[in-house]
Amino acid sequence: MVWKILKIPKGKSKIDKKLLSAIHNIAGFTPSNLELYRLATVHSSIAKESTTAGFKESNERLEYLGDAILGAAVADYLFKKFPFKSEGFLTEIRSRIVNREALNFLARKIGVANIVQYDQKNAHLQQVILGNTLEAIVGAIYLDKGYLRTKKFVIDKLIIPNYDLEDLVNSNSNFKSKIIEWAQREGKEVRFEILNVKKGKNHKEFTAQVLVDSEAKGTGYGNSKKKAEQDAAYKTCEMLNLLGES
């Protein structure tokens, strides 16, 4: 592999240099409009109200855009990768790539946690917003570089290095079902409990926990009960070494 040395323009602040370097490492190119990527990292928990626009400047609009562009790029890739598969198959595989748990894991793996800006008084917030931030970064790339460059980023930096499509096709992505099936085989009692629900201005944050024979296992977070339970189930699968099972 040939490593390119990133030339950072003179006159940039330390914060700008850090962000520029981070985006280069994540995306493989130098941003043209750094401000887009800065906005993509700002969670609504610390957003300040714009004096001109009259609303809080956070990454929510870029997240909305990036969600659509990411879905389109993945759909495009899968459509060409599997020319003889049905619409239902393509939809299922796409959902396994872009679901919230997968995006949170992927965002953490590629370094999004190093640049996301959020209210650090909420210790669990980072665990549920990384995927949203990744979507916002996709939105920023789209506005900065266009769709073709964004699709290349999605395929070359997100899908190919991080997903084995054969395993993905054959895997069971319903971690809650996997835990329940394991518990039935082992003769154990499993329960899913919602520990907490935090109400924000625009969303709720659920905290779920898996209990096996009344012993606490994985704790998960999400903006719905279902997503929090799936996240808790995924972490429990990790703890019990169940992720490799078909």
What is the C-alpha to C-alpha distance for residues 213 and 48, in angstroms, rounded to an integer? 46
What is the C-alpha to C-alpha distance for residues 99 and 226, in angstroms, rounded to an integer? 12
**Active-site hit among 60, 67, 101, 205:** 67
What is the C-alpha to C-alpha distance for residues 83 and 79, in angstroms, rounded to an integer? 6
Q: What is the largest CA-CA distance in the chain?
A: 64
- Choose among 111, 124, 113: nearest CA to 208: 124
Is 135 a known active-site residue?
Answer: yes
SS3 46: coil
What CA dihedral angle connects 79, 83, 87 and 92, to 10 degrees?
-70
Is 213 a known active-site residue?
Answer: no
- Choose among 46, 40, 37: nearest CA to 16: 37
What is the C-alpha to C-alpha distance for residues 143 and 117, in angstroms, rounded to an integer? 21
**Active-site hit among 60, 63, 135, 205:** 135
**Catalytic residue numbers?**
67, 135
